[in-house]
Chains A and B, each alone.
Chain A
Amino acid sequence: MALQNFIITREDWSLHRKGEVDQQRHRQKVREAIKKNLADIVSEESIILSDGRRVVKIPIRSLEQYRFRYDFRKQKHAGQGNGNSKVGDIIDSDSQQGPGKGPGAGDQPGYDYYEADVTMEEIEEIVFQDLSLPNLEEKKNKKLASESVEFRDVRKYGIQSNIDRKRTILEVLKRNALKGKPGIHGITPEDLRYKTWEVVPKYESSAVVIAMMDTSGSMGPFEKYIARSFFFWMVRFLRTKYQNVEIVFLAHHTEAKEVTEEEFFTKGESGGTRCSSVYKLALDIIDSRYPRDDYNIYAFHFSDGDNLTSDNEQCIKLIEQLLMKCQLVGYGEIEGPYYYTSTLSSAYKRVTHPRFVSVSIRDKSGVYPALKTFFKNPDQKGG
Chain B
Amino acid sequence: MADQVLEELRQLEAAIPKMIEIARQFKLDFYPMRFEICPSEIIYTFGAYSMPTRYTHWSFGKSYHRMKTMYDYNLSRIYEMVINSDPCYAFLLEGNSIIQNKMVAAHVLAHCDFFKNNIYFSFTNPKDIIESMAVAADRFRHYEMVHGQDKVEAFIDSVMSIQEHVDPHRMIKPKVENKNKDQNNGCCQTKPASPYDDLWELDKNHSCSCQGECFRKHSKIPPQPEKDILLFIMEHAKDLEEWQLDIISTLRDEMLYFWPQMQTKIMNEGWATYWHLRIMREMDLTESEALEFAKMHAGVVLPSRSSINPYYVGLKIFEDIEKRWDKEFGPGAGREKIFEVRELENDISFIRNYLTKELVEELDLYLYRRIGHDWKIVEKNWEKIRDHLVDSMTNAGFPTIVVEDGDFGKRGELYLRHLYEQRELDILYLEKTLVHIYKLWNRPVHLETQIDNKPVLFSFNGEKGSKKFI
Residues of chain A touching chain B, judged by Cβ–Cβ distance below 8 Å, are 3-11, 13, 16, 18-27, 29, 63-94, 96, 102-104, 107, 109, 112, 114
Contacts and interface: CB of A to CB of B under 8 A. Distances in A.
Given A79-B308, A94-B373, A103-B306, A68 B61 contact: no
Contacts of A88: 376-377
A107 B94 CA distance: 26
Given A16-B42, A79-B306, A80-B303, A91 B34 contact: no
Nearest to B19: A6
A82 B364 contact: yes
A78 B68 contact: no
A8 B306 contact: no
Interface string B301-317: 00111111100110000
Contacts of B60: 18-19, 22
Interface stretch (B175-183, B185-193, B385-393): B385-393
Contacts of B401: 68
A78 B367 contact: yes
A76 B162 contact: no
Interface of B: 1, 5, 9, 12-13, 16-17, 20-21, 24, 32-39, 41-42, 44-45, 48-49, 56-62, 64-66, 68, 94, 157, 160-165, 303-309, 312-313, 363-370, 373-380, 385, 388-389, 392, 398-399, 401, 418, 423-430, 432-433, 435-436
Contacts of B428: 112
B39 A13 contact: yes
8 contacts: A10-B9, A18-B56, A25-B61, A66-B435, A76-B388, A78-B367, A82-B303, A90-B374
Contact of B306 (A11, A84, A92): A92
Nearest to B416: A68
Nearest to B365: A80
Given A7-B33, A107-B66, A66 B389 contact: no
Given A63-B62, A80-B364, A104-B306, A10 B378 contact: no
A109 B227 CA distance: 24
Given A10-B1, A13-B42, A82-B303, 9 more contacts: A4-B17, A8-B37, A10-B37, A22-B56, A24-B61, A74-B423, A81-B303, A89-B376, A92-B306
A92 B305 CA distance: 9
A112 B38 CA distance: 35
Given A21-B56, A24-B61, A78 B41 contact: no
A67 B429 contact: yes
Contact of A67 (B24, B161, B378): B161
A89 B309 CA distance: 20
A229 to B, nearest CB: 25
Most chain A Cβ neighbours within 10 Å, of B32, B309, B368: B368
A10 B306 contact: no
Contacts of B308: 78-80
B34 A71 contact: no
A139 to B, nearest CB: 48
A69 B399 contact: yes
Given A69-B399, A89-B377, A84 B9 contact: no
A88 B372 CA distance: 13
B305 A78 contact: no
Contact of B367 (A66, A68, A77, A86): A77
A91 B377 contact: yes
A60 to B, nearest CB: 11
A58 to B, nearest CB: 15
Contact of B375 (A81, A82, A91, A112): A91
Contacts of B165: 68
Nearest to B37: A10
B64 A19 contact: yes
Most chain A Cβ neighbours within 10 Å, of B16, B165, B306, B436: B306
Given A8-B35, A85-B377, A103-B305, A75 B369 contact: yes
Most chain A Cβ neighbours within 10 Å, of B377, B379, B424: B377
Contact of B304 (A11, A23, A79, A94): A79
A96 B373 contact: yes
Contacts of B44: 19
A282 B45 CA distance: 59
Nearest to B36: A9
A221 to B, nearest CB: 21
A83 B364 contact: yes
A85 B107 CA distance: 31
Contacts of A5: 20, 32-33
Contacts of B45: 16, 18-19
Given A7-B33, A65-B160, A84-B364, A78 B392 contact: yes
Most chain B Cβ neighbours within 10 Å, of A64, A89, A112, A114: A89
B468 to A, nearest CB: 19
Contacts of B374: 90, 92-94
Given A4-B17, A79-B305, A84-B364, A19 B68 contact: yes
A57 to B, nearest CB: 14
Contact of B429 (A68, A81, A84): A68
Given A23-B65, A26-B65, A79-B304, A65 B39 contact: no
A67 B163 CA distance: 9
B111 to A, nearest CB: 14
B398 A68 contact: yes
Contacts of A81: 303, 305, 364-366, 377
A70 B426 contact: yes
B34 A79 contact: no
Given A76-B388, A104-B306, A85 B380 contact: yes
A85 B429 contact: no
A289 B367 CA distance: 68
B304 A85 contact: no
B306 A70 contact: no
Contacts of A96: 373
B307 A6 contact: no
A352 B427 CA distance: 49
B306 A91 contact: yes
A81 B366 CA distance: 7
B400 to A, nearest CB: 9
Contact of B385 (A78, A107, A109): A78
A23 B303 contact: no
B432 A66 contact: yes
Contacts of B378: 76, 87
